[in-house]
Amino acid sequence: MTRALSERGRFSGVQKPPSVGYCPAFSDTSTTTRGLNVRKSLVALAIVALFSAPATALGGKGEAAKGGSNGGSATSCNLPESNAESLVILSNYYPGYWWDHTDLTITVQAHPTATDEQLKAIDDAIATWSTTLEDCFDGLITLTPVSTRREADIVVHYVPSAGGVVFGGYAICGDHGCPNILVRSDLPPSLGRDPYSPEYLGWVTLHEIGHALGLGHTTNLLESTDLMGYGWPDLGDPVLSDCDIDALAFIFAWAIDGTEPAPPAEGPYDCSLD
């Protein structure tokens, strides 16, 4: 089984494919390097998380956007645009990294020291994705919280000090499942930096769930403030965008077209189709 490890952290090297990259465990791009570490079937992808507003503020139902396999109308919501040029489709690089069902489930396993504010931030990120999917796909694609890991397609683990200076969050996904999303908040004391705020923890969670759903990074990775870019927060607030949702319609084209489950077509998904 091919697995993809998506994370926010520090490596050195060259980004290949475009979906692969990373951001620092703390926001200081002047001191970071970006790249890829690949070890056989385990692929380390740098991931950063972002979030712009609650689902209710992301746009309601309105003019349909384009995003199906044939570029036709596939979603029923109108979300903000971002500066993403295109989005990488992870299954193009990691076979099996796509969903063969649309009624997805998710749960959280948190460290006992997690505060109410931290847990709420993680839950809010899940709720944002759940509401957005429900609104944009009219119930065809859903993300439902469940109580146990056994029931869940996606599992978010909150481990406060995981990652050190390497990452702030990552997702290990495999064939039609993503049982290991890891998010953290506490930085090593030697850095002299405050822990992530609950808001920032929510951003990390939101981004990692995007990867679990099948979204790669923006191809203009370092310049984009899209949900799946790395330009935020230095270049502006992050945006859960219409391109993110349209790319998911591209990924789930088999469900939208009413055909048997099948991997997505070749990407990246062109955001100019919006």
Q: How far apart are CA 180 and CA 229, in angstroms?
A: 21
Domain count, the chain: 1
Question: 142 to each of 26, 68, 127, 189, 252, how far by Cα in Å?
Answer: 32, 17, 11, 40, 12
Please give the average per-residue pLDDT across 168-173, as a whole number.
Answer: 88
71: in domain: yes
Position 268 in a domain? no
Beta strands in 18-166 (DSSP E): 37-39, 42-46, 61-66, 73-77, 86-89, 103-110, 142-145, 154-158
Average pLDDT rounded to a whole number, residues 53-62: 31
Residue 271 covered by a domain: no
Over the Cα atoms of the chain, what is R_g?
17
Question: Using an 8 Å Cβ cutoff, are 216 and 16 in contact?
Answer: no
Going by pLDDT thresholds of 50, 70 and 90, the confidence category of residue 44 is very low
pLDDT tens string 129-169: 999 999 999 999 999 999 999 999 999 999 998 888 878 88
Domain harbouring 212, CATH code: 3.40.390.10
Query: Of 23-27, 47-51, 105-109, where does mean pLDDT reach its minimum?
Result: 47-51
Between 155 and 38, the higher pLDDT residue: 155
Q: Are 101 and 262 in contact (CB under 8 A)?
A: no
Place of tokens 């980004």: 15
- pLDDT at residue 266 greater than cutoff 60: yes
Whether 265 maps to a domain, the answer reads no
- Asked, for residue 266, whether it belongs to a domain, the answer is no
Would 166 be classed as within a structural domain?
yes
pLDDT band at 274 (very low <50, low <70, confident <90, very high): low
pLDDT digits (tens, 9 = 90+) for 81-108: 999 999 999 999 998 899 999 999 999 9
Q: Give a yes or no: residue 269 inside a domain.
A: no
Residue 40 contacts by C-beta under 8 Å, 6 or more apart in sequence?
none
Domain span at residue 201 reads 3-258
**How much is the average pLDDT of 171-175?**
88
Q: Indicate the pairing of strand 154-158 with strand 103-110.
A: parallel
Q: Has this prediction a pTM greater than 0.75?
A: yes
pLDDT at 53 over 80: no
Q: How many CA atoms lie within 13 A of 79 on its CB side?
A: 32
- Is the residue at 226 inside a domain? yes
Provide the pLDDT confidence category of residue 260 given band limits of 50, 70 and 90: very high
* Per-residue pLDDT tens over the stretch 230-240: 887 788 778 89
